[in-house]
Amino acid sequence: MRGLKSAITDNSLFRRVIWHARLMLFLILVYPISLYAAADIRIEAASIQYVGGEFRVDIMIEGVSDLYGMAFDLVYDPTSLEVMDAEPTKDGIQPKVTEGTLLNSNGTDTTLLKASLEDNLPGNLVIGLTRSGDVSGVASPAETVFLSVYFRPKKIGTDQLALRNTGVIGAQNQDILVSSWGVLDVTIQDQNWIGDVNHTFSIDLADVILVLKALSQNTDAPVYRDADVNKDGKIGLEEAANALQHPSE
């Protein structure tokens, strides 16, 4: 009798183990990312940059599902780098930040993007980007650009960009697990910008157009004085004439 009861108990336990194993296999097959993998978030840009040359830093995300939004501080050395100003004619710094196509579903959905320097001081850029309204989250099993931030190096040397005070949420306001938050090491080198009025690493018709617009006060685009070709301390017709002498690239 004891052997039969033991056999029944063991058999019942065996069936429960098999049932749970099948359930776990089903969940793994149906929800492989959201339940059993964590998102990977990295900072990407060319490791070599040049004093005075604007460059883009991409915040990349991979292996995420039901993503509704993300917030973080992007920390950098303000003596080495400066955030580009998206609206230089306004008071203060309006950080130049652009979102990718993930949260807005290639431009079809509304999103909310906020970016500002903490306490209006350089060195800590506070960024938040979310979807808007009562909508589902989005998935990105492959690496994609979440958003981009634009910087300009100020001096020769090295700097490291890192993500701090991070948070990622899903559509139900649940925390999304992140396996790693990357950092970016940048080496800054010198660059000869003479003649390159717009700092695009080439001297061409675009420099001519920018000079003429600047002279007529018809542009908000930056005009870089280190492009001065005749050392008169200003950008004018001499720089436009110099650019016209260069073949189009």
pTM: 0.76
Write down the CATH number for the domain with range 36-189. Answer: 2.60.40.680
For the chain, the straight-line distance linking the first and the last C-alpha, in angstroms and rounded, comes to 93
Q: Find out whether 65 and 137 touch, Cβ atoms under 8 Å.
A: yes
- SS3 call for 198: coil
DSSP for 93-118, written as a single string: --B-EEE-STTTTTTTS-EEEEEEEG
62-98 confidence digits (pLDDT tens): 999 999 999 999 999 999 999 999 988 888 999 999 9
- Residues in the chain, how many? 249
Whether 96 contacts 84, CB under 8 Å: yes
pLDDT of residue 6: 43
Is residue 147 within 8 A of residue 97, CB to CB? The reply is yes
- Which CATH code is given to the segment(s) 192-249? 1.10.1330
Q: DSSP character for 190?
A: -
pLDDT under 50 in the chain at which residues?
1-10, 13-14, 16-21, 23-36
Query: What local confidence, expressed as pLDDT, does residue 12 receive?
Result: 52
Q: How much is the pLDDT for 249?
A: 52
Give me the pLDDT at residue 201, please: 87
Q: What is the pLDDT of residue 58?
A: 98
Count of alpha carbons within 13 angstroms of residue 38, beta-carbon side: 10
Q: Any alpha helices (H) in the chain, and if so which ranges?
A: 2-30, 32-36, 205-215, 237-244
What pLDDT does 156 receive? 97
pLDDT of residue 220: 81
